[in-house]
Amino acid sequence: MKTKIEEYLREVDDFKADSIEKLEEFRIKFLSKKGLVPALFADFKNVAPEERKEMGQLINKLKGSVQEKIVSIKEGLETSPDVASAHLDLSLPAHAPLGSRHPLSIVRNDIIDIFSRIGFTVSEGPEIEDDFHNFTALNFPPDHPARDMQDTFFIEKDPDIALRTHTSSVQVRVMETTQPPIRTISPGRVFRNEAISARAHCIFHQVEGLYVDTNVSFADLKQTLFYFAKELFGEGTKTRFRPSYFPFTEPSAEMDVSCNICGGKGCNVCKYTGWVEILGCGMVDPNVLESCKIDSKKYTGFAFGMGIERITMLKYQINDLRLFFENDLKFLEQFKASY
């Protein structure tokens, strides 16, 4: 056995390899389950007791030499220019792809920038709200449909706690803690129990605005929103107001802009009317002011709210709202130059 081990040691010492494949053959020959080193350990039981110490040391020396040889040759092959070039994938892109802002974030920042130019600050609040801030303080009657399970995601353990259905709850919190004049916008994510389609989703994003001061009129509201539409969509944008109803504003209106996806000819986004409703608005109901301990005889105000998804679809001519939530890189890469 001693002679055999010494031959193996010389073979290991003289071994050279110019490829990973040859090195793997060497490893299998000596270290695999049926290799030479395991075979020597298997024959060790036949060694005479007085020779076992010497033979055991020689077998361990052989095993260590094989392992050192494998590590040494492998390191040399990995740093070799020829081997590195052999494993080079020329089909890979020359540069790693860069990330980009999500289109909803781009439009959200644009909206904030537009309103900040005319004195609006940004306020934020919790996405999980209580009944008072989400409904009661905003003049929602107890039997309003929005309070039903089919429209709102309520927290199961507490029926008075729900995922907020609008960022108007943030406006309530601002009015509770701030005395007029108040001029703020509240961007954020909201939740409603709606079927997912090209035009609707159960999760979406809003920006709501509030202005409370003395002598605030509907004319102030219209001029503010005219300015916003022209700044965001361009000077050629047409706008119109239609009477509407919201529990927290009176009078109330909805604002439409001309559909720039179809150029006013009609498409599935504008329901073939040439117009797209982008926001609801109105004068703050005196009951809302009083709920927040603001004197409705001294102060008046206006409020508005818009969906960021709807505006982003118009701005970038996107006809399916679901694209915003699918994380498709081919879709998102189109917006790299937009910020």
In a domain, 96, yes or no: no
pLDDT at 3: 84
pLDDT at 96: 65
Residues 213 and 77 in one domain: no
Residues 160 and 23 in one domain: no
Residues 227 and 324 in one domain: yes
In a domain, 193, yes or no: yes
Residues 162 and 254 in one domain: yes
The CATH number of residue 110's host domain is: 3.30.930.10
ω into 97 cis (within 30 of 0): no
In a domain, 295, yes or no: yes
pLDDT at 169: 92
* Cα(55)–Cα(37) distance, integer angstroms: 12
Whether 253 and 220 have beta carbons less than 8 Å apart is answered as: no
pLDDT at 222: 96
Element (H, E) at 297: none
Residues 107 and 82 in one domain: no
pLDDT at 44: 75
Among 86, 120, 137, the domain-final residue is: 86
* Cα(309)–Cα(227) distance, integer angstroms: 20
In a domain, 277, yes or no: yes
Residues 53 and 143 in one domain: no
Closest CA to 260 of 313, 308, 224, 309: 313
Residues 59 and 110 in one domain: no
pLDDT at 150: 59
Counting the structural domains of the chain, the total is 2
Residues 108 and 163 in one domain: yes
Among 86, 121, 146, the domain-final residue is: 86
Whether 255 and 232 have beta carbons less than 8 Å apart is answered as: no
Residues 63 and 114 in one domain: no
Residues of the chain with pLDDT under 50: none
Residues 200 and 320 in one domain: yes
Residues 118 and 194 in one domain: yes
In a domain, 91, yes or no: no
Closest CA to 210 of 285, 265, 269: 285
* Cα(38)–Cα(33) distance, integer angstroms: 6
Query: Helix 2-14 to helix 52-78 angle, to the nearest 10 degrees?
Result: 10
pLDDT at 148: 63
The single-letter code of the amino acid at 231 is: E
Closest CA to 273 of 282, 264, 281: 264
pLDDT at 122: 96
Among 21, 54, 86, the domain-final residue is: 86
In a domain, 98, yes or no: no
In a domain, 133, yes or no: yes
In a domain, 47, yes or no: yes
pLDDT at 332: 85
pLDDT at 338: 58
Range of the structural domain that residue 304 is part of = 103-338
Residues 284 and 334 in one domain: yes
